[in-house]
Chains A and B, each alone.
Chain A
Amino acid sequence: MEIRLPAMSPTMEEGTLARWLVKPGDAVKPGQVIAEIETDKATMELESDEAGTIVALAVAEGSDGVKVGTVIATLAVAGEDAPALAERPAPAAAPEPAERPAAAAAPAPAPPPAKVPATAPAKVPDAVPAEPAPTVATRRQTVREALRDAMAEEMRANPRVFVMGEEVAYYQGAYKVTQGLLDEFGDRRVVDTPITEYGFAGLGVGAAMGGLRPIVEFMTMNFAMQAIDHIVNSAAKTNYMSGGQMRCPIVFRGPNGAAARVAAQHSQNFAPWYASVPGLIVLSPYDAADAKGLLKAAIRSPDPVVFLENELLYGRSFEVPEGEHVVPIGRARRHRAGRDVTLVSYSIGVEVALAAAEALAGEGISAEVLDLRSLRPLDEAAILESLARTHRMVVVEEGWPRCSIASEVIAICMEKGFDDLDAPVLRVTDADVPLPYAANLEKAALVDSSKVVAAVRSLFR
């Protein structure tokens, strides 16, 4: 039988075959560990399900980027004819894995530009760098590593900074974001909590009032609903209620929004909830550079910050400036310049918007992509400035449509940008339903670039 690389988490797409613990000819028993697989979250042991003899290893030790579903070894199951199997050639190359469920996959490719009116303008030069090419050296990092580095750098700089949450220390982070922090800072500053969100959120608030700088990790923001009283009532309102005396410098962070196939109770975007609360700062970065720079700014902030990450982005790699990199709170970022329409988004929605912009470029529509990054305070000036140039806007949001960040952006355009509008501002969001489990329903519920492209086209009819 063929042993294939299994998916070891809801979002795993590939892994590294770190080590083989068996060689051809070895007999294995059910439950015996045959290999160590490094996923983007952890190093995990792969066990044999069957008793038998290893016939061949198809993937060399140390291979990285092995796709889920790839045949990595063949096993002669006890009773099968081992020599016959051995004569079969080992797979020469890793086969492509079966298509992954929608949410875990990269944004869908843009649909063919069949329906574009013939009057579409000639293709414009696009992908103009939105920000000047960085003059500082950069290096490629995952969002996960960038977040970890941000915490580690701030913890080195300020002994009052500590991190607490479920599995942040010995487990190295449920999503591996706090990997290595325990080794460097010890368990007084990297604190594993019991599963007690309401309690440890309140405890973190008290520690902040008591002069420390806590980073409170929620395993996912879904669980922070158990603690939202402390985030809103205890943290956000303290400075105001005390007439400006009592500070609460705390960061509540964790993955937010839909992951992959984890269904309704584990898939929700809380950005609009927190962004509606005066007294909070709400940040939701897309790429690794912003993840690092904004988390550092959050940790230094004298105000309470809700820092919304995205599980699907943790493993994505981007260029991150070397050395000290802090991104100011409250400023949007243009990821792509354009002149016909502005796509406004944040977090994983930016990825969708960029894919849509690329597809639209093929149809001769030049789309600008504006990443809000900071949801409270919101960079109204950047939204209105872009609208004043493109005169059309679509808000792309991985979240529900009602009372959303999109709703807010549209209100701003109505109130302050009305004269610049050549068309109504549209929103492209998830469906207004609890997120379903079935792969096809989930795909239909989530925002994707084809929906964005369709919305933009409708503005040019």
Chain B
Amino acid sequence: MNELDRKLVNPFNNDKDFAGCAIFGMMDLEGKRFGSKDPVKAMANMHDRSNGLGGGFAVYGIYPAFKDYYAFHVMYLSRDAKDKTDRILASCFNIIYDEEMQTKPANVIDPPLMWRYFVQAKKRRPENLTEDECVIQAVMRINTETGKAFVFSSGKDMGVFKGVGFPEDIADYFCLEDYQGYLWSCHGRFPTNTPGWWGGAHPFNVLDWTVVHNGELSSYGINRRYLEMYGYKCTLQTDTEVLAYAFDLLMRRQRLPIEVVAQILAAPFWSDIDSSDPKRSYTLRAIRQTYGSLLMNGPFSVVVAHHGEMIGLTDRIKLRPMIAGTRGDLLYLSSEEAAMRLVSPKLDRLWTPRGGEPVIGRVGGKKLVEVAAKMEAQ
């Protein structure tokens, strides 16, 4: 990313994203799709947790007709950037279908051109890269080389809609009432820097992984340097980006189960490790010794999602809020209980997860397991 563009995305050259936020996650554990009504209503209820400088939604299961193709949501600040992006995409993929994204006038600030592509990885790929790796490379290239294009999302059968405005206005702008998904991960942002930048809103995405994040990582400096050793370029200089890459490294590339990933990102204290039984103590110690640089320190609560799974996690001393609830097949994660109660007054279960204790929702439905399994196989 050149100097001009860095100024655009991070005008004050801040270390990281200083932001307070609202987060909300809602998923159907049977994989049944539902509309935007409840997630948007919940986010609107937490209006005061954001300040109108960022809102966004990640929705899973929205493109059943194109579910075999990577769906790129790309933002353009100039026509020229689109031409460059088109060339990059065309060089790596067969573009199956593309269109300008459907929007309508709403209370949002300076909306950029938004484009949607459905693409298929080419059979002949450089250096025997997997399809997923091709996608990651293309995303990194578009974000760093074109200057004024930015990829919002790049996973299959999912998409990210985000921008500058309150979450309910962003939903309005992108006509989210027209979409159905089985998992909605939502974010309202209260940044103290990077104003007016659509790409800086959450969720952040790599492949089908998305992260919405409330907090500030005091460990960001070392988290980023560790990830750089594994080839991740943190172009946005935001701490949420490192969370997304950390999940990608640990869960997709190293195939560690979320139970272990939680022990890495919100590691147990040494005193707890020492007092565990010898075998568990040895394992936990090895995990912390090996992945200490990925400990996410400082206040955060986060909802991470990919196909078939939604995970809620907070820092190990729970400096940011998160509450969880279920009703029937629905799992809710929320910054505030009121938002959850508003859309589901009669919860079967309501609990406050402890710091560092993940809440994991997995889809049991057959159709969605197939999607997940197919991607695993690749």
| A-B complex is real | no
A interface residues with partner B (beta carbon < 8 Å): none
B interface residues with partner A (beta carbon < 8 Å): none
